Amino acid sequence: MTGHFDDAGFVPLNIAILTISDTRTEEDDKSGRLLREGAESDGHNVVEKAIVKDDIYQMRAIFSQWIADPNVHVIISTGGTGITGRDSTPEAVAPLLEKPIEGFGELFRTVSLEDIGRSAIQSRAIAGLTNQTLVFCLPGSTGACRTGWNEILSSQLDHRTRPCNFAQMFRA
C-alpha cells in the first residue's frame, strides 16, 4: 500500500507545463492552469509554462529545449493525445524518450475508466524518462488533467510516497 513517511521533508521538483492546442490561449487554458495550480499547491516549482500548436516539430522543439535544461526535472503536457484531427503528441514525444513508462498510460486509462467509462480506451497518454527528465503527456480535458494529477502524479512526484515513486531520482 502506498503511503507517506511523516519524518521525511518534502523535496520540490521543477516542473514545466506545456499545453498543446491549436486554439487555446493563456486566458482560456483551463487544463494548463489546473496542472500549474496542482503542482504549486503541492509545493513544486513551475519553472516554465507554454502553449504550442499541435504540430509535431513545434512540440519537439519545446520538449527538446526543456529536456536539455538541467533546471527542468519534469515536463507535463496536456492535449494532443486523442485519435482524431491533428492529435499527434505521442508521435512527437515517443522518439525523444529513452525509457518509456508504459505503466503510466495503462494506469491512466484504468483510473479514467471510473470517470468516463469505455471512452478511456481512446486516450493515448504516455510517459517516459529522457536525459534525467520525466515526461508525462496527458489528454487535454480538465477532467483528464485532474485525474492525472490527483490520482497519479501528485503522489508519484513526492519522494515520500512508498514503496517507490518517480521523484526519488531527484532527491537532494
In tens, the pLDDT along 13-27 reads: 999 999 999 999 999
Number of domains in the chain: 1
Residue 148 belongs to some domain of the structure: yes
4 in a structural domain:
no
Which CATH number is 52's domain given?
A: 3.40.980.10
Q: What's the rounded Cα separation, in Å, for the pair 84 and 145?
A: 19
Strands 74-78 and 99-100: unpaired
pLDDT band of 112, cuts 50, 70, 90: confident
Q: Domain for residue 58, yes or no?
A: yes
52 domain residue, yes or no: yes
Residue 1 maps to a domain? no
Residue 24 included in any domain: yes
Beta-sheet strand order (sheet of 14-20): 45-52, 14-20, 74-78, 133-138, 126-130, 99-100
User: Residues 124-147: what's their mean pLDDT?
Assistant: 95
Between CA 77 and CA 81 the distance in angstroms is 10
The per-residue pLDDT for 69 is 98
Report how far residue 9's alpha carbon sits from residue 135's, in angstroms, rounded to the nearest whole number.
24
In a domain, 3, yes or no: no
User: What is the pTM assigned to this prediction?
Assistant: 0.93
- Which residues span the domain enclosing 126? 10-170
